[in-house]
Structure 1
Amino acid sequence: MRPKPSAATANAVPSLEPVAAGQEYHKNLGYDIREDVNYIYDELVRLGLSQYALELDVKGLTVVPPEKIAGAAFTRQVRDAVLRTYERRHGETLDFENAETLEAATVTPFGKHMAYMLLEDPIFSDLMMNETLLALVGYRLGRNFSISNCQALIKAKGGKALKLHTDELLVPPPYSANGGGANATYTLTDYTVDDGALLYVPGSHKYRRLPVGDEGADSVVPVEAPAGSLILWDGATWHGAMARQNRGLRLNVILYFIRPHLRPMEVFFDRVDQETLDKYPPRYRALIGESLKWWWREEGPRFDSPDWSMIGTTAYR
């Protein structure tokens, strides 16, 4: 039998039983954190991603193998769409397997960037809506995350190594403890040391700031992964890339995601046709900022969207 509380304690603590008090609190607030916690956790377990979520949390980066993402045919489709886009934009056909080099990809250490790729081909939206990708990014950024940019990157022999940096661009230190962004890179060719692999410093995301000078250079680890892998890292993780030594081209698609209070690099919502919106579930509208956005004109904000009532409520949103 529980002891009777003192008069002071009785006055300080609500008389409701703990469960009832919790239910009443959630009801009044209009938000139940348990829904988000259980959804995120259950998705990770259902998809067999627990070990990758743990690695992402501890090391700041994880590599999800192709069999957890999609088949080889899907990888070829995405790669072909990137090559077609390059040819359409630049009037040049790329031989990604045998090219001795590509001058446009050697000018900067980043290689050749092709921006604003999401709407170039429907396959890029299919990639963005991949359930494994959504589960891991949602774990990192909460359920209301949106896309900041969709880019393709090409590296060639003769390019320079990329120094360590973070993806939290323009953010003064210290970065938010909950993380503002996450990079999801889909590899379209093999990542090996001689192919210009990604480099990162395990655990560096915990610093919540940029590296200073050559800090971290003696702690880097190469990220090797076969084509069709998803490399996912925290926006605060220190990372760079090695110079490519082999002939041929290293291809990827980068999708960078942010929490909904941040400003995206690329804006898509006003260029997506109705057919595309109808093809995907409502989550697609939120991802591209159509149902939840900070930028508006005369029409004003859409506070009628249910997302607005939950944004910023917890780290899970």
Structure 2
Amino acid sequence: MKKIIYNQYGGVDVLHSVEVNKPIPDTQQILVKVKAVSINPIDWKILMGEVKLMSGKKFPKSIGCDFSGTIESTGTGIQKFKAGDDVFGVTNPFKDGVLAEYIVVNEKEIAKKPADLSFEQAAAIPTVGQTALQMLTNSLKGKEILINGASAGVGMFAIQIAKSQGAIVTAVSSGKGQHLLKKWGSDYVIDYNKEKVTDLKKKFDVIIELSAKLPFSQAKKLMKPESTYFTVTPSLWNFAHSFLNNIVSKKKHEVILMKSDTEKLNRLANDTLNGFDIHISKTYPMSDYKEAYKTVIKEGALGKVVFNIPS
């Protein structure tokens, strides 16, 4: 079977395709024939060595964490799934990647894919959807929420989750993403090329920073006296600052590391079936892995970019 791996940290050119044996599940594992894989920023942060403390020095490594597919076989200890079930889920990106024709996964990493959800849609959900859910767990009715860098995957779900709970959403992106911010339900949209976020006069209950361009030091002046700033950038500085800041301040600084579970995957799938939009801006065959990653790293993505894996 084909699998995309790399033997050293670096740019996209260190990725290459290899032929390896199909993995064999142990008693507590599931063998999945992969149908689709979506791209997430964590893919290239690990690839480029930006999070070596978590990803380690052991090679080869493979890439990708969000997938959908069909179960080919299960270990004898698996009770909730069987061969032939269509599933989707996310693996630990620091352990083993999913951009391959077959993968083995654990029962807790997956959920059954609804028949009315395409494999591409399902693969686009896990990391970004669950990240958004972790940030938006409290009652949001009437709350003012700012989402900076809102036109990619996390923003796509964050806007729709917030609106479904009655929040008032201000979303920020480049001009090319404005139509999606409106489609997803934003009350106010800002083109950062025309208006500086830091010039806003409004105060917010929640700020979700997805662009790495609005640090907490600048966001504080946009926050209400009791409010929360979320970032998805897992730097040592962010972890240290959030810990110290949150001891003394009611303007909280939270660093989100996505934690997956089947319940959240099922909820997000149901939300999608009930009207949440999943915008897939482009699909690539697995063979175009270098072009896909180079394009997304350079240009970003509206919504999600997904690989189709050949049968």
Q: TM-score, normalised by structure 1?
A: 0.23
- Higher relative contact order structure (alpha carbons within 8 Å, sequence separation ≥ 6): 1
Q: Which has the higher strand share?
A: 2
Greater Cα radius of gyration, structure 1 or 2: 1
Q: TM-score, normalised by structure 2?
A: 0.24
